[in-house]
Structure 1
Amino acid sequence: MFPTPIEKLSKSVNISYRVAIWIALILWLLPLIAVMMTSARSVADINMGNYWGIPEQWMILENYTKVFTSTPMARYLFNSIMITVPAVIGAVAISTLAGYALAKFKFRGNVLLFATFIGGNFVPFQILMIPVRDLTISMGLYDTATGLILFHVAFQAGFCTLFMRNFIVGLPDELIEAARVEGVSEWKIFWHVVLPLVRPAIAALSVLIFTFIWNDYFWALVLVQSDEVRPVTAGISALMGQWLASWQLISAGSIVAALPPVILFFAMQKHFIAGLTLGATKG
């Protein structure tokens, strides 16, 4: 019924498996290695076409310093933080409340409403480009951090609600019923009973949504046009000049932009894994 563990297969299969893993890992890391090497090269090294070799002159400190002193990279990073953090908090808070209502309250249209949240995840986001842009312009939210935050909260609500509802529905109904019998209000039940039990799920969801919003490029390009609001993903593309591209600075900026999600993942790794495996051994 279940696949045979790789350790119990033949020696040749085990060797092929380990070799294939290393090959896949190297191929997956090649673009990142190329970007890291480019961020340490000099302009002359790049102009000579040395893209994959060892840099003739290491410019690590110079390039990473220059990306902050000669470009608005610090502003782009600040904008991303000011957009991503409120959007994550809003999306997770709303989805947790909605997930609790859909999981533990019986009302007419419950299944239809839940299906609506699920169906929203299958809508290609590209077809929303013109309606969303026109909506933000009509509401006076175009090229503002508020507009981008509200959009991300709304756009992530479907997946987040699906995620949280599936965790909350597995909580014992007896705990909630016992609190209701004691006369505890629904808000206190949610705050003191449900939230502590789904804390790992909230941590895992927060890491995922932070990564999604931080790495968003499409909507940052559609809904923002000024450096005062532009997040780091769109800001990196703005570093490319009209006639000349400073690839060493673009690469250094890309590495800097990738650090916050990586740091957050490792900082929340224990909670992230606990959230994803919550309930996996139930029953």
Structure 2
Amino acid sequence: MFPTPIQKASPFAQTAYKVLLPVALMLWLLPLIGVAITSVRPASDLAAGNYFGIPSGFAGFENYKAVFANSPIGYYILNSFKVTIPTVIGAVALSCLTGFALAVYNFKGNLVLFFLFVAGNFIPFQILMVPVRDMTLRAGLYDTTLGLVLFHVAFQTGFCTLFMRNFIKGLPFALIESARVEGVSEWRIFRYIVLPLMRPAIAALSVLIFTFVWNDYFWATVLVQGQHAMPVTAGLYSLNGQWVAAWHLVSAGSIVAALPPVAMFFLMQRHFIAGLTLGATKG
């Protein structure tokens, strides 16, 4: 049912694994490496058609300086933080409550309600473009940061609830029963017993949602038009010239825009490890 660990595989399989894994990793990283090289490539290379060759010189300082000098990318990054951080807080907080309710209480319609949360993840988000845009226009939330935040919270809560409900289901229910016997209220059970045990799940989910929302381009262009609320993913388009695509600047801007999710991952890496090793040993 489960794949055989590579340590127990045949010597040929172990050798093939050691050879093919670095190759697969390089192929997976190839686009990112190409963007990083283009970000330090002089504009003259691109004009001469040298897209994939060795750069004729190093223009990293000039390119990254031009990104901040020729575009309001700092303002776009600030807008992305204004959208992403409230979304992470809202979606994770709601999913902690809904996940706890769906995992702990056996009320009528529990499974149906859970399936409704899950079903939202299977709807292609592209078909929601017109109704969501019309709804934000009628509510006066179009072209605002608040409109993006509310949409992302609503759209991400289904996945977050699925994640949290399954995690809480795996916790020892005896802890909750013992607290109930002692007369502890349900809110205090959630606050002081369940919530501390959910820290690895909260950390992992926060990084995932942060990455999803930060890298969103589709809704950033559908629900926002002005620069006052435009996230960095949509704002990178302003680095292109009117007649010529400045791919060296776009690549440099993409590297800058990718730094916050990478930093978020490394800051929460310890909690990721705790989540992976949770329950691996007993006693």
TM-score by length of 1: 0.94
Aligned-residue offset at 1:105: 1.2
CA distance in 2, matches of 1:13, 1:107: 50
RMSD, aligned α-carbons = 1.7
- Report what 2:211 is aligned to: 211
CA distance in 1, matches of 2:194, 2:68: 44
Q: 1:277 to 1:165 in 2, by over 3 A?
A: farther
Aligned residues of 1:102 and 1:114 also touching (Cα < 8 A): yes
- Report what 1:13 is aligned to: 13
CA distance in 1, matches of 2:106, 2:257: 44
Residue aligned with 1:52, SS: coil
Q: 1:15 to 1:177 in 2, by over 3 A?
A: closer
Q: 1:112 to 1:264 in 2, by over 3 A?
A: same
CA distance in 2, matches of 1:103, 1:9: 38
- Report what 2:36 is aligned to: 36
Runs (5+) with no aligned partner, structure 2: none
Check if 1:128 corresponds to 2:124.
no
CA distance in 2, matches of 1:277, 1:162: 21
Identity %: 65
- Report what 1:72 is aligned to: 72
Aligned residues of 1:201 and 1:276 also touching (Cα < 8 A): no
Specify the code of the residue in structure 1 equivalent to 2:117.
F
Residue aligned with 1:121, SS: helix
Aligned residues of 1:204 and 1:276 also touching (Cα < 8 A): no
TM-score by length of 2: 0.94
Check if 1:53 corresponds to 2:53.
yes
Q: Structure 1 segments of 4 or more deviating over 4 A?
A: 279-282
Specify the code of the residue in structure 1 equivalent to 2:151.
F
Higher alpha-carbon deviation: 149-158 or 38-47: 38-47
Deviations 1:157-181 (A, max 9, x none): 1000010011112222222222233
Specify the code of the residue in structure 1 equivalent to 2:269.
Q
CA distance in 1, matches of 2:96, 2:193: 13
Runs (5+) with no aligned partner, structure 1: none
Aligned residues of 2:83 and 2:145 also touching (Cα < 8 A): yes
Q: 1:46 to 1:69 in 2, by over 3 A?
A: same
Aligned residues of 1:79 and 1:229 also touching (Cα < 8 A): yes
Higher alpha-carbon deviation: 267-276 or 194-203: 267-276
Q: 1:133 to 1:278 in 2, by over 3 A?
A: farther
Aligned residues of 1:201 and 1:278 also touching (Cα < 8 A): no
